[in-house]
Amino acid sequence: MDKMLYISMNAAQQTMLAQATNSNNLANVNTTGFRQDFEQFRSLPVLGDGLPSRVYSASERVATNFETGSIHSTGRELDIAINGEGFIAVVGKDGREGYTRAGDLRISPSGQLLTGTGLAVLGEGGPIAIPQAEKIEIGSDGTISIRPVGSEANALAQLDRIKLVNPALTELQKETDGLIRLKDGTTAAADVSVKVASGNLESSNVNAVSALVKMIGLQRQYEMQVKMMSTAQENSASSARLLQLAN
């Protein structure tokens, strides 16, 4: 009975963790540039004294789906979408450099160029600061040009260039803050071949229908494990009554 109870209890716990990953994907179905997380179950032996007669399951996030989401036009001059592969370099909340596909940029009251979640966008010499301007343009190579206040209509001045990177996907991992970073902890070099489309945004690559179907499947799986635990308890109670009658 204890083996049945242990296995079903462990399976229910890991199913809850898998549901949490799937729910996070579903919650970000409308998040700009979001990358879906993959997860899987693994069977592992219980280590310790005695024979390896028991196993337990473990849910783990094995990879990130780097497929491109759909591109839609917004007409907003600070919105950019990566054309093809590549990432925008930003400063994470922990101060480390990270990479994102979210191009919903904005300018803070102090003039700093930020992502929609408030992360500083990196340029050629660090975080980008933009002075007051009548017009801002972002070129296909990430170059930021402005028309200073009071200047003529054709007086555009190049200010900085957004750091765009394109490391190999096999070298990347998604961390708990949602940013992509190199597995070895280093930073990627700027790649001039990465291009952006101004006035566009990339949507999340989460398939809402698939995530909903998976949520239902995981819920049924969890209910089955709970039922197994209930059955194990009933069997244990029945065995105890039989022993009492035998005595």
The count of C-alpha atoms lying within 13 angstroms of the C-alpha of 59, restricted to the half-sphere facing its C-beta, is: 17
User: What residue has token string 């997380």?
Assistant: 37
180-182 and 172-174 beta bridge pairing: antiparallel
- What digits encode the pLDDT tens for the residues 167-182? 999 999 999 899 999 9
- What digits encode the pLDDT tens for the residues 84-96? 999 999 999 999 9
For residue 31, what are its two tokens? 């998040």
Do 214 and 116 belong together in one domain?
no
28 — phi, psi (to 5°)? -105, 25
Do 98 and 191 belong together in one domain?
yes
Does 39 or 187 have the greater pLDDT score? 187
Alpha carbons 84 and 194: distance in angstroms, whole number? 8
- The three-class DSSP label of residue 71 is strand
pLDDT at position 14 = 83
Domain that holds residue 237: 2-66+206-246
Do 56 and 173 belong together in one domain?
no
Q: Taking a C-beta distance cutoff of 8 angstroms, is the pair 153, 135 a contact?
A: no
- What digits encode the pLDDT tens for the residues 78-133? 999 999 999 999 999 999 999 999 999 999 999 999 999 999 999 998 999 999 88
Do 237 and 133 belong together in one domain?
no
Do 102 and 48 belong together in one domain?
no
Give the pTM. 0.80
Q: Taking a C-beta distance cutoff of 8 angstroms, is the pair 33, 204 a contact?
A: yes
Do 165 and 100 belong together in one domain?
yes
Q: Taking a C-beta distance cutoff of 8 angstroms, is the pair 202, 101 a contact?
A: yes
Q: Which of 166, 182, 202 is the last residue before a domain boundary?
A: 202
Do 19 and 101 belong together in one domain?
no
- What digits encode the pLDDT tens for the residues 23-56? 999 999 999 999 998 877 666 666 667 666 666 6
113 — phi, psi (to 5°)? -80, 120
- What digits encode the pLDDT tens for the residues 135-151? 899 999 999 999 887 77
Do 192 and 218 belong together in one domain?
no
Do 226 and 187 belong together in one domain?
no
Burial class of residue 186 (count of CB atoms within 10 Å of its CB; 0-12, 13-18, 19+):
exposed
- The three-class DSSP label of residue 4 is helix
Q: Taking a C-beta distance cutoff of 8 angstroms, is the pair 77, 138 a contact?
A: yes
Do 89 and 163 belong together in one domain?
yes
Other residues' Cβ atoms within 10 Å of the Cβ of residue 30:
10
For the chain, the domain total comes to 2
